[in-house]
Amino acid sequence: MKQLIGVKELRENLEKYIALVEKGKSFTVIKKTRPVFKITPPESEERWETVIDFTNKSKNGVSARKVLKELHKLNA
């Protein structure tokens, strides 16, 4: 069964729909009776994975600015 929700409903109940998507549900979002986009859970291979854990350098990790600065040095 296709689940349709309005933009206003999604906006007003975003946390509810996030939880439902995390459980595997999908929704088509409509605006003025026309479908505008779909919300679906990511495929397992699309989920984020840890590539580098900077917490071993600092309890709070490393700022993106510092990482970008170091990357810039490598490419210079």
pLDDT tens per residue, range 42-65: 875 556 666 666 677 777 777 788
pTM (whole model) above 0.75: no
Give the pLDDT of residue 62. Answer: 74
Domains of the chain, first to last: 4-42 (3.40.1620), 50-75 (no CATH)
Is the four-CA dihedral 35, 20, 10, 45 of positive or negative sign? negative
Give the pLDDT of residue 3. Answer: 93
